[in-house]
Each structure stands twice: as structure tokens, then as C-alpha cells.
Structure 1
Amino acid sequence: MYFRTKASALAVSVALLAMVTGCATTSDSAETPEAPEKLVFAQIPSESAQGIAEDNKAIIEVIERETGLEVEIQEATDYAAVIEGLRAGQVQIAGLGPFSYMVAKDGGAGVEALGALVDAPDEEPGYQSYGIVPAGSDITDLAGFEGKTVCFVDPTSTSGFLYPTAGMLELDIDPEADITPVFAGGHDASALSVADGTCDAGFAYDTMVTSELIDSGDLKEGDLEVVWESEIIAGSPYVASDKLPADLLAQLEDIFANELNVPALVESGVCASESDCGLPEDSAYGFIPVEDSLYDGVRAVCEITEAAACKV
């Protein structure tokens, strides 16, 4: 409801803006955007703001070196906050999920995809949503989620809400009426809430369950059981605001396409070795460019689910 209310307000604002700008002179409409004094990078936390900075350390170092601009980390509470920051011109770079990228792109927030992480340069970026239960649960499949308290991430999370919703609808489970939904706010929070019994079941992206929380010591191997896996989801893109000057936007696109991969990071001295590069999601290679059409699968799932957050 909140999203649809904001979307309606945005539609009115856009209509009014169109009326005003329609009277602008040609020189006004062609005015070149000013270069920002710094680049604000926003992302919802997987663990903490410190974790965001650490996960993106190599990325930030290269961007600051190449552009000469400071990169400021902004921790956001949810994807909607990141999207609104981009729309308002308060955020210049962001890490989004596939669903939130689609919402931002199709909803006129003004974003351009910079790239997505892969483990090999010839690989198509992608991952999965996992349906999870505590060890020893009597729930053995997605059908068993019916009637239970179920943790999601947030309403604009691809693997933490959209694809799980599609999976439940295929089993005639109404994600509003047939379960008690809980929005945990992050993939780690969703998984940990399942592990500690706050939720009977839940969803998180694959490596959060299989490695990230185990490597951090928050969970032990075997604390969670995977009882459902989604189809492959297009990889999460990093984006830039199209309100940036064209030359800066082109420079960022070049950085993500050519400099933010393990071989280039080692060659430039940002990483000491190929085995110790510290890229997000434990990527073994780094970023490759992505086309907007890669996210048409997300748009198709939106048509199936008719989720409120899809209505941009």
C-alpha cells in the first residue's frame, strides 16, 4: 500500500513537472548537469554499514582513484530508500537487486546499469532464492510453508520476496492470507530469524545461506536446511544515476567494464593476489556489463505475481 501511494504521488509530481518543463527553453532543457563534489554509494546492509564498506573496498578505491571524487557510503534501510535516493539525485551509485533495479528503471528513477558480478568473464550473472527452515523442522518443501510464520527480506527484494511469492502462488498459497509474513529487512536477518525460531521458515539468497553467515560465524553448518530453490535469477546490478554528467557516467561504465575484475585489480595493485581480492559476493572474477533486457525475466515474474511493488 505504501509503495502504491508513493507511486501515485510520484505520477502526479511527474505530470506537474512535465507541464512546467514543457514551457522551458531549449537551452534550459539541454543544460549540462554539474559534476558532484562526491559520489554517494547506497546499498541495503547484508550485515552492517562497516560490512558494506569492506565488501566494496576495492570498488571504492578504484572509483576514487580514477574519478578523483570521494565515495561516501550510505546505509539504507530498504531498497525503496535507495530508489528514492537515486530519484532525488541524492545517490549517484547503488547496489540493487534485480527486482529493485527493474522498479527503479521502469519507474523513472533515472538509472543506468553499470555491471553485475560473475565468477568467470564468459558467465551470465545469476543466483537463486532459497527457501529455508531450521534444522530438524518438519517442513520439507515449499508447500509446508502454508499456515506458518514466514520471513521475507523486503517487498522489493527479488530473491527475498518476488520469486518466493511466485513459487507460493504456483502452489495456490496466498502469500498474504495463507501465511503470516514477516519482513526482516535483510537477507542475513531473514536467515538468522529462521535459525533462531522467530520464523518457521523464510527466504534468502543462496550464498547468504550456504557460505556468508557461516564464514562470519553467525551460523554453523547445518543450522538451516534448504527445502526450495528458485529458478536462476538475473544477477544483481550496480547502477549509476543518469543525472550525472555524461562524461562521468561514461567513465563509471568504463571502470566497471574494464577495471573492476580480478586480473585488472591485481595488475593495478588494488589486490595483492587473485585469491585475495575481496569483491562482493565472493566473486571469483568481478564485474561484466549487463543489458537492461537481462531483467525481462523479472518483469515476467511481476506479471505472474502482480505484486504491489511491481506497479511502477
Structure 2
Amino acid sequence: MIRKTIASAALAASMLVTGMAYADVEFKPLEKDPETIVFGIISTESSSNLKAQWQPLIDDMEKALGQEVDAFFAPDYAGIIEGMRFGKVHVAWFGNKSAMEAVDRAGGEVFVQTSKGDGSNGYYSHIITQADNDKINSLQDMLKCDHSLNFGIGDPNSTSGFLVPTYYVFAQNGVDPKNCFKTVRNANHETNLMATANKQVDVAANNSEQLARTQMNKPEVTDKVKVIWTSPLIPSDPMVYRKDMSRELKSRIKAFFLGYGRFGDVERAKEVLANNSDGMGFFMESSNAQLYPIRQLELYKNKLKIENTAELSADEKAARVAEIDKKLAELDILVSYE
């Protein structure tokens, strides 16, 4: 009875935190399991680069499942989220922020997460500038806010390119990028790195995975940039599937990922993983719970934004902050049961 009560309380808190109730589900339900599984890949870099990294794994997945698996690329993260929402994407590689959107709005469910080739988990957000820029060596140098600098930020659904720097770099310092820089432009990690190296932007958000991958393939590019800020550790990327597929199909998909590199043609799988991103290791079991820290980060970011805005009255601020504090308390309950 106690365990059932705890589980019910956790479920209720989870629904409140995500802002969803079963009657408010926005995604289009699947009528049946897909005959062709569509694998969505977020646009961290060019589609050609991503296809070269992911297609071998997708081919192996197709063989293992005995079912056609097609890759799907979109020009931005939202395209993959919306594809899953309308049942056009069934499995996808996301970052944590985009996975949170997929879980809340697109009928998604986290089932495994990536790891590094050395067995470690997580990665870092960075702020970068040109290696020969002796005027910018720290956040203090960047946040002078005299509208002289061009800033490259990530996709709005990117964890390391947008959410993390928005909270740690800007919200915690009471800075609105639009009121600080000459221009602010959104782009994927690869584009922001190249734009910084080629002096098309002065500073940009990036991450440790993109820098490491580019260092492996194009060291002449990373030699042109330097890191001026590094975030706390970010949880490794989640894999998400549509939660309304049959238990049997979800089990087979999950088994493929958890077995990849552990069983079967181990050497091929390890080579495929090593050539993906900055070198992947095995997939590890996970769940929607890995998104709790990201939800907290999003709420703290919104709380700071409300506290620093001049457009709201003191009473309006207090009411909105109280609502966020309530959601943060609910998250604390969920985290305590992990």
C-alpha cells in the first residue's frame, strides 16, 4: 500500500511538473505499430555528416529487427519533435532539452542514453571565441554588453547550445542577450564553431562533443578557437521512442540498443559507435527521470527571468515565482525517489 501511494504521488507530481494531464495530450496517437520505423536525428551539424555517423547503426538496427528503418533529418530540432508528435518519427536521438519537449508534447519516452567510449557519461557546454582574440578571455570580457559583439547561440531546443548557456551565462548574470550583443543568431553546433573560427561571429555557444569531433577530423578548425567558459556536467544524450508503440516492439528496440556492441558482431558495432560524435560507448538503460535536472534548470531559468523583468508588478512576480517554486518542490519529490 505504501509503495502504491508513493508511486501514485510521484506520477501526480510528474504530471504537474510537465504541465500535462492525460486529457491534455497533444500528440497524435498511433493507430498501430509502424511497418517502417523512422529514426529521427537532431540537427547538431550538417545532414551529410550526421548520415555518415548514424546510417551504419540504422542499417544494423534494421537487420536486428527484421524491419525497415529509415533515417529522418530536419533543418532544426523542432522538426524532429514535431515529426514524433504527429507519428512520422518513432525513435529519435535527442539532447536532453529536446527530449523533454518530445516527452511533454510528442508522446515520447526516454529508454536509453549514450555514453562515451571510455565508459564515462555526460558532456559540457562551452562558450568559444577566436584563439587569437586577446580581448575576450572570460565571461566578464564577453558580458560588457556594449553591443559591439556578434553572438552565436544554439537551436532553441538545444541543451548545450541554448538552455545551459541561457541559464548559467545569461540568467545568472541578469543579462538579456538581445540587449547585450550587436547581433544574436541561432545555428547548430557545427555552424557556430565554423562561424567562430572564420570570424563571422565573435563568440558562440558550443559543446565538448562538437569540439572533440572537429578536433579529430579538422584540427585546423579547432586550432582557431579557444574556450572561455565551461558548464557543469550535462547528462548524456537520451534516445526516445513513441510510448504508444506496442510493448513488444518497444522491447525489441530497447534490446537492440542495449545489446549493441555487447552481443553479436561486437567489433563492427564498436567501430560504428567509435565513429559517431566524439566517440560513443555502449548505450545505457535510462528513463524520463534523466530529464529531472533539465526540468529544474528550465524552471530556475524562468524564475530568474521573472525576477529580473521590469514589466511585472511585485504581486505578479510573486505569484509566478510561487508557481515555479511549487513545480520545483514537486521535482524534488521525484528526485528523492530515484
TM-score computed with the length of structure 2 as normaliser: 0.74
- Displacement of 1:279 in angstroms is 4.8
Cα deviation, residue 202, structure 1:
0.5
After superposition, residues 40-189 of structure 1 pair within 5 angstroms as 40-105=38-103, 107-119=104-116, 123=120, 125-137=121-133, 138-146=135-143, 147=145, 148-167=149-168, 168-180=170-182, 182-189=184-191
Distance of aligned partners of 1:226 and 1:126 in 2 relative to their CA distance in 1, 3 Å threshold:
same
Alignment of structure 1 residues 1-312 onto 2, 5 Å? 33-105=31-103, 107-119=104-116, 123=120, 125-137=121-133, 138-146=135-143, 147=145, 148-167=149-168, 168-180=170-182, 182-209=184-211, 211-217=212-218, 219-257=220-258, 259-260=259-260, 262-264=261-263, 268-269=264-265, 271-272=267-268, 274=270, 277-306=273-302
Cα pair distance change 1:120/1:73, threshold 3 Å: closer
Which has the larger displacement, 242-251 or 218-227? 218-227
In 2, are the aligned partners of 1:133 and 1:225 still within 8 Å (CA)? yes
Moved more, 114-123 or 133-142: 114-123
Normalising to structure 1: TM-score of the pair?
0.79
C-alpha distance in structure 2 between counterparts of 1:44 and 1:16, whole Å = 23
Residues 77, 185 of structure 1: 8 Å contact kept: no
- 1:16-35 deviation digits (Å, cap 9, x = unpaired): 989xx9xxxxxxx9xx9423
Distance 1:228 1:238, change over 3 A: same
Deviations 1:141-165 (A, max 9, x none): 1222233221011111110011101
Gaps of 5+ in 1: 1-10, 22-28
Shift of 1:49: 2.4
Aligned partners of 2:26 and 2:289: how far apart in 1?
28
One-letter amino acid of the counterpart of residue 165, structure 1? T
Report the alpha carbon displacement of residue 37 of structure 1 after superposing the two structures with TM: 2.0
Query: Alpha carbons of 1:16 and 1:173: their partners in 2 closer, same or farther (altered >3 Å)?
Result: closer
Q: CA deviation at 1:284?
A: 4.9
Looking at structure 2, the residues matched to 132 and 71 of structure 1 have their Cα atoms a distance apart, in angstroms, of 37
**Structure showing the higher strand proportion among its residues:** 1
Structure 2 contact 46–190 (Cα < 8 Å) conserved: no
Q: Provide the C-alpha distance between the structure 1 equivalents of 2:171 and 2:139, rounded to a whole number of angstroms.
A: 11
- CA contact under 8 A between 1:142 and 1:227: conserved in structure 2? yes
- Larger relative helix fraction: 2
Instruction: Confirm or deny: 8 A CA contact 1:58 1:278 kept in the other structure.
Output: no
Q: Structure 1 vs Structure 2: percent identity of aligned residues?
A: 23
The letter of the residue matching 2:207 is Y
The alignment partner of 1:114 has SS state of: strand
Cα offset, 1:180, TM superposition: 4.2
Provide structure 2 residue ranges, at least 5 long, that are not aligned to the other structure: 1-19, 306-323, 325-338
Deviations 1:126-177 (A, max 9, x none): 1110110011111111222233221011111110011101122222222232
Deviation at 1:100, TM superposition (A): 0.8
Give the Cα–Cα distance (whole angstroms) in 2 for the partners of residues 62 and 272 of structure 1: 10
| Deviates further, 88-97 or 272-281 | 272-281
CA distance in 1, matches of 2:268, 2:79: 35
